[in-house]
Amino acid sequence: SQQGEEDPQALSIQEGENATMNCSYKTSINNLQWYRQNSGRGLVHLILIRSNEREKHSGRLRVTLDTSKKSSSLLITASRAADTASYFCATVPDRGSTLGRLYFGRGTQLTVWP
C-alpha cells in the first residue's frame, strides 16, 4: 500500500505537554504532508516536507522525515485544548502519473485535556 499509517491511533495528553505522532509509508515519495481535521470537518494543511528535507518547523509544529526508514513524525509542543483533532499524514509518491494525488493514513486522534 502507498498509504501512510499513523501511530498511535489515539493519544491523550494534558495541556502543556508535547504530542508526538508517527507516520510510516512503503513507497518512495516526492513529499509528505500533515493535515488536521476537527470533528469530521474539512482538512487543514499543516506542513509539507519534501523528500530531500529532514526537518521542518512551523510555529509549535516540528516535522521530521527519515526516507531511509520511510517514516515521519509530527511533534506539537506545549499543546493546547484547541489542538484536539485528528491528525493525518499524506504521501505524494515519486511518480508523475499520480501528480497531486494524496495517499492518507487512518489518522491519530489527539485529545488534549485542560
Partner 1 sequence: DAGVTQSPTHLIKTRGQQVTLRCSPKSGHDTVSWYQQALGQGPQFIFQYYEEEERQRGNFPDRFSGHQFPNYSSELNVNALLLGDSALYLCASSRRSERVHVYEQYFGPGTRLTVT
* DSSP bridge pairs for 108: 87
Instruction: In angstroms, give the least distance from the CB of 92 to partner 1.
Output: 6
CB 73 within 8 A of CB 23: yes
The smaller minimum CB distance to partner 1, of residues 77 and 98, is found at 98
Instruction: In angstroms, give the least distance from the CB of 98 to partner 1.
Output: 7
The smaller minimum CB distance to partner 1, of residues 100 and 114, is found at 100
The smaller minimum CB distance to partner 1, of residues 4 and 79, is found at 4
Of 91, 88, 92, 94, nearest in space to 106 by CA = 88
Instruction: In angstroms, give the least distance from the CB of 52 to partner 1.
Output: 14
d(CA 83, CA 62): 14
Binding site for partner 1 (CB under 8 A): 3, 30-31, 33, 35, 40-45, 48, 88, 90, 92, 97-107
Cell of 85: 483533532
Phi, psi of 42 (to 5 degrees): -65, 160
